[in-house]
Copies of this chain bind each other. A is one copy, B any other.
């Protein structure tokens, strides 16, 4: 897999001839654009890249990229991608999935992919709704959500997708949003650099069936107070002109007013993406924050990263071992077996 930095490709090279068919204003457009922007920067040729998706609005994604791709069936992209990765570990594989595709019908394949730790990237477009089927609630929709299928409000307690990924022993867990192109690009690149299954949850606005689901995080006025962007090794700071920070009181994250002066940056929680438990604390900051900053903000960024053996690598090592020990398979010997006799 060539990593020669500059193949002199541009985002155009990654744009297919297919007309993009999302609703005007859909968050998917921004994600597509950012992906097309970083692909030329990660030093891969088009033919080395494969996008595998399930079914959903988001899953139309592969058709719009001029790489190899498969728009498969609902929820099964992780399994298909696993088989493909085993067939050819050299490929750079990107799984595109939605909150329904990944967490409803595809939940089992996702958690097994995460535990096996194939080297690939999973982009989970979370719009907290079933878009393609025209607006039923999804496993990430907030409780009480009124949709076509829940006229009196949904009664399911939603998943916390990142906590679920952590519970499944995911080795790279991150969150970003369609409305913050730079952050989106940075997280995608870091995900791509990770050797292992990188799960990136992307908040994506469905302006037709769930418009404004994430407005509190994306709206300029509230964003500073409601969204905190964590960086490895740096103190966790947010708020208007970084006036606030998070401190850890035991296992309890508390908001700290930096303006007051009673606490300085060194008193703050320094984000360590290698610390499973602190990462878990971040993922569990999940209550919808008040715009005024009086409540814990929703964290974005790379929460957790761990290095662990890759499934496809171990598999091919076993093949190599067995060839080393037994020699490359001899078909005639195999057909012959142990006990034979001849009739003359």
Contacts and interface: CB of A to CB of B under 8 A. Distances in A.
Interface of A: 105-108, 111-112, 115-117, 139, 152-153, 155-160, 163-169, 251, 275-278, 280-281, 284, 308-309, 311, 314-315, 318, 321-322
Contacts of A112: 107, 139
Contacts of A166: 163, 167
A157 B115 contact: yes
A156 B311 contact: yes
B277 A117 contact: no
Given A111-B107, A152-B318, A280-B277, A157 B169 contact: yes
B159 A115 contact: yes
Nearest to A252: B277
A315 B155 contact: yes
Nearest to A277: B251
List the number of copies, as a whole number: 2
A168 B168 CA distance: 9
A239 to B, nearest CB: 25
Contacts of A108: 105-108
* Interface of A: prevailing SS: helix
A160 B152 contact: no
A169 to B, nearest CB: 6
Contacts of A322: 152
Contact of A157 (B117, B155, B315): B117
27 contacts: A105-B108, A107-B107, A107-B111, A107-B112, A108-B108, A111-B164, A112-B139, A115-B139, A116-B156, A117-B157, A152-B322, A155-B309, A155-B314, A155-B315, A155-B318, A156-B311, A157-B169, A159-B169, A160-B167, A164-B168, A251-B277, A251-B278, A276-B284, A277-B277, A277-B280, A277-B284, A280-B280
Nearest to A314: B155
Contacts of A159: 111, 115, 168-169
Given A155-B314, A163-B166, 8 more contacts: A107-B111, A156-B311, A157-B169, A159-B169, A160-B169, A164-B167, A251-B277, A277-B277
Contact of A155 (B163, B169, B278, B311): B311
Contacts of A153: 318
B156 A115 contact: yes
A108 to B, nearest CB: 4
Contacts of A275: 251
A175 to B, nearest CB: 15
Nearest to A159: B115
Contact of A111 (B111, B158, B284): B111
A107 B166 CA distance: 15
A71 B23 CA distance: 47
A145 B281 CA distance: 33
Contacts of A321: 152
Contacts of A115: 139, 156-159
Contacts of A314: 155
Report the 4 A-B pairs with minimum CB-CB distance, sorted nearest first: A167-B167, A108-B108, A155-B314, A107-B108
